[in-house]
Each structure stands twice: as structure tokens, then as C-alpha cells.
A and B are shown apart, each in its own frame.
Chain A
């Protein structure tokens, strides 16, 4: 089990999806596995390593994305036949749920994609709405998914007002206290975050996971 787990970890770090899927199937087939143990001992550390390699410049965005895809494929295999009890345990252990997207009118999503990958690597459950997302869609998805955090990216000064609009919508529909709202993107700033009533702002993608942990404590 330990060897297979280490092999799985290595395959995720190497972004080798086919090999990772093969090992995951073997784990399900031949071992009396503890899914939670596989995830916590091998998969989460693998994604942490990938995140660190990105931080140090050894890995690029493509590696982050490929490792994320590999992780998703492996999870599909591992979670297919687990008991309800294990599923419930897993749900309790997951980090914060985050709804994220680039706001309306903005089609720039590479920075947001980096944030998504790093948040996933840090163990958060992420619902990525993509780009050019209408304000109400953030609000509705956050309610449906019972999210903890709404993360709003804007790369243009003319789309920044839509970050403010999401917060206004939450306020006006009486849901502001249900979520932490964090913002980011090139032209945004701490002052802007304060002005629109956001709970947090990060200047770089690599600060996002730390910011989520910080706002969840407050």
C-alpha cells in the first residue's frame, strides 16, 4: 500500500495522468484501502509539492493545471465505490468551499486559473465559474454550493465596479454575513477592497490560499 501510495504521489507530481489513473485503479482493486488515508498521506502532499514547485519557478502554470486534472481523475476513481460513512468523513475534512470567477465584462482568466490551481493544491474545494461572470451568478452559486468564500477577479478598471456590485447584491439580499468576499486582479488594491467592503485582497496569486485561511478565522 505504501509503495503504491508513493507511486501515486510521484505520478501526480509528474503530472502523469495515465500512470496515476492506473495506480488508482490498482489501489481500488488489490488493496483494502482507506480512501481518506490515500488522500491525506499521498494526494494532498503531492499537490502541495506541485504548488511549491510553482512558487519556486520550477513548475509553470501548465504543470499546475495538469496536476489538478490528474488529481481530479484519481479522485473520480477512488471515490467511485466508497461508503456513505467515508463520504461523510471526507466532506467534514475538506477545507473551505470557494466560489471563484472573473467578473462580468472581463475575459482575462489566466491569473484566476493560477489562483484556482493553487487553492485546489492547498486542499480547498473550488467552484470555478470561469470568466465574464454576472454578479448574480456568484451569489446564486454561493448559495447553492453552501460556499464559505466568494473570490472575485478583475483585470480591468472598468470591470472592477462589478466586484463592488457582488458585495452590494449580497448586502441588499441579506446574505452578506453568509460569505467572506475576497478580491484580486492587476488594477485592484487594498484601498479598493476596503472601499467596496471586501473581507480581503491579495496582490498575487500565491497569497490567495493564505488569504482564505486568514479570512476564515476572522
Chain B
């Protein structure tokens, strides 16, 4: 990871003055205002969000999932800034609120380092809506578990075969040497170590050692497992994906990982999943919270990349019309007003080898990229074991590249067309097939029918007028 002078805070250009150091953030976690968790959720977070939505002119329009409205994007940004400066982040271990005033947030945004590199020196660049800059594209099994080491190797080979992939996200292991991994037990630590060693070996085998692992260490969410990752192959050119707890909460486990990441010089992807239908309410509230999480990502999670994955509370995906609007508006709000690179994480409802899964992946990719974000693809709603395939991510990345430089209005038409093919199925999506049925586990090569489906859908999109690489 190549940020100049990155330790526990970033210095102002041409000066030694520091904005808000991480140590100061920890101090606020230890000494901030006290609140019970439920009180924070209902009387602070939800109450302020309701007030903000009355104050600002933010309206969801289902007919325009990808709005071309800069005023709306900036309004969402300002609403998010006011919201976060009033609400802050709740620390579960101290029952205290970590608060930053508006000036502190604005200063942190202004002082954000503009150069971030991962892997073998490749930069992940901040983008703008309709930017021609190619997005960073990360592929992998986000939050999905595979049953054993053989499937893990096979699916990783398949992902690494994607020529447009800039980084890889490893899945978790359900078993290690045939034993079921149990949370918080030594088996979980063994599983976590295995994900790193296997991933590094496999990437080397297929001559893709250049691909950075973007999620640090999988299988264990513990700070201990994260910290030992570097003993087994994670290097500062990889990244740590550190997710917030919904909504606007952190704990010491997360802050310990941040401490480790900062001191090791590993870039942090500040993850956050605002829940539509949860405390965020509808699309408008979710867009504001999704934007506000970028400030938390900067000041609490100390991210060098903001990594949002807003989700539907009921359907656990972000391919629906309302969530595409949230992704688009929040990405536009952040990319227009900060230099923080954005890596939107897609969550499909349908499983691998289904027509619907391809359409969903394409819609999210287009929505993210034309709105100023890069892309990670993909999570899956049910996260069923072994339900991972390489061709939906491949297709999504091709769409992402094609969407660079596209007009938002054109992307809106494309997304509407894609939505018409799947949105009614979101409540009852097809589960798809297991990796063992999608690919040859030994080589990672997709099976014939899967490849046929991929080619068919590619052709559909090309017939629509999108040129794919």
C-alpha cells in the first residue's frame, strides 16, 4: 500500500499539523458522551435522521434509479455532514459516542491523501460521476463460505483468470482439514491462517501473485486473527476490509484491527452496510446514512478507501431499484465532494449460473461506475455455502469498464432495462448452482453451460448497444 507518510493520522500538506489523529478518536471513544445502545438507535440516530429528512429536499424517484442531478447529490452530502456531526459513532464497548464537529469532518475530507496504491503499485483513483477513469475492479466471494480447501483453491483460480481484476476477495472456509470451523475457537484461527496461505499459494500458481488480497484475512472476524495475518503472507500491499456495525457502531475488536492496520501500513477499506428498511428507513434516509458512513470511515475506521454495501433489510441485496438509487446518489454525493476513492460492493439476490444473477451484477456495476465509484463484485443475499461463480463478476467488471465515461442518463436507461428483467423476482430469487457445478474445481475453468449463458447475456447487452471488452 503506497500512501505517503501514513501512520496513525495524515499530516496536512506542507505542515506537521495533524487534523484528528486516531489516538484522539480512541480518546473520544473512551470519554465521549454516554448513551445506552437503544437510546442511541432510537433517540439519537433515528430521531436526527427524521429531522434531517424534513430539513433537506431529498426525494426518491423510482423512475430514475440513476439520477443526473448534481444538486440532489450535493444536498445529500450536506445532509449527511450535518447528520454525522450531530449523531457520531457509538462505541459498544464503552457505551459512549465518538463525536466530531462539522469543521473537523470538513478538515479531514480536505486533508485526505490523494494517492493510494495496492498490489504491485497500481493506484486506486478517486473518480467523479461520468468519469472516463477506469474503475478499480475487485472480484471474489464477499462474505461467502466454501466447504473445504479444494473448493477454495478452485474458485480462487477461476477469479484470478479474470484479466480485468485489480484485486481479489477471498471467501471463508467452513472446514479445515475436514474439521468444522467454530467461531472464537483455535479452529477459527487455523481457518483464517489457511485462507491466507492457500490464497497466496494459489495466486502464485496461476501467475497472478500481483493481485492484492483486499479483505486481509477471511474466516475469522477477530482482531487476533487479523493481526496474525501478516505472519502468514498478508503484506502492506494487500488491504484490510474493516466493516462498521449497523448502524453507526464500532467496538474495540474493530478499533484494534484499525490500530494494527495503521501501524503495519496496510490500507484499510472502511466498510459500511446501511440497511434500507432498518433504522435508516427508506431510500432517502439510506442514501444520507450511506454517505455519512464515509465520514466515519475516514475518522474512525481510518479508511483510505470507502467501501459501502447498502443492503435491503428483507432481501439482503442491493440490486433493487431503491438500492440502486441509494448507491448512485450516495456515490455521486461522495465522489463530487471528496477525494476518497469509493469501492461500491455489489450484493446480488440470485445465485451463480442464473440469468438474474448476471443482470443484477450488471445493474449494480453500471450504477456504481457512472456515479463515480469503483466496484467490488460480489456478495450474495443468501450467502449459501459454495454458491460462488466467476462469470457474474467477470461480466460485471466488463460492464464496469464499459460504463466508464458513460452518461448517467444512458446508464439510467440501461439499468431500467436490466431491472425490467429481474426486479419482480427479488423476493424469491433462484439459488443457482454450487461452485462444484459451475467450474472444474481442479482448473477453475467454467463448465460449458455456464460459459454459454455468459456469452448469451454478453450478446444481449452488446445488442442493446454496450460495447464490452
Chain A positions within 8 Å of B, measured between CB atoms, are: 57, 60-62, 65-66, 69, 104-107, 110-111, 114, 156-159, 161-162, 186-187, 189, 204
Contacts and interface: CB of A to CB of B under 8 A. Distances in A.
A106 B383 contact: no
Nearest 9 pairs of A and B residues by beta carbon: A105-B183, A158-B183, A157-B145, A62-B46, A61-B278, A159-B183, A105-B184, A161-B182, A60-B281
Given A65-B41, A66-B42, A187-B384, A161 B180 contact: yes
A62 B383 contact: no
Given A61-B279, A62-B281, A157-B145, 18 more contacts: A61-B277, A62-B41, A62-B42, A62-B46, A62-B278, A65-B41, A65-B42, A66-B42, A69-B42, A105-B183, A107-B245, A110-B313, A156-B221, A158-B145, A158-B188, A161-B180, A161-B182, A186-B382
B41 A57 contact: no
B183 A156 contact: yes
B220 interface: yes
B385 interface: yes
5 contacts: A60-B277, A60-B313, A107-B92, A157-B172, A187-B383
B314 interface: yes
A60 B247 CA distance: 14
B188 to A, nearest CB: 6
A69 B384 CA distance: 35
Given A57-B277, A61-B313, A187 B41 contact: no
Contacts of B383: 157, 186-187
Nearest to A54: B277
B293 to A, nearest CB: 15
B172 to A, nearest CB: 7
A158 B176 CA distance: 12
B336 to A, nearest CB: 28
B258 to A, nearest CB: 16
A57 B383 CA distance: 24
A187 B385 contact: yes
A161 B251 contact: no
Interface string B167-208: 000001010000011111000100100000000000000000
Interface string B276-292: 01111110000000000
B343 interface: no
Interface of B: 38, 41-42, 46, 92, 145, 172, 174, 180-184, 188, 191, 219-221, 245-246, 251, 275, 277-282, 313-314, 316, 382-385
Contacts of A159: 183
Contacts of B221: 156
A104 B183 CA distance: 8
Nearest to B181: A158
Contact of B183 (A57, A162, A186): A162
A66 B182 CA distance: 35
A110 B172 contact: no
Interface centre among B183, B188, B313, B382 (most CB of A within 10 A): B183
A105 B384 CA distance: 19
A106 B183 CA distance: 8
Nearest to B316: A186
Given A107-B251, A110-B313, A187-B384, A157 B174 contact: yes
B272 to A, nearest CB: 13
Contacts of A106: 183
A178 to B, nearest CB: 26
A110 B145 contact: no
Nearest to B46: A62
B174 to A, nearest CB: 5
A161 to B, nearest CB: 5
Nearest to B182: A161
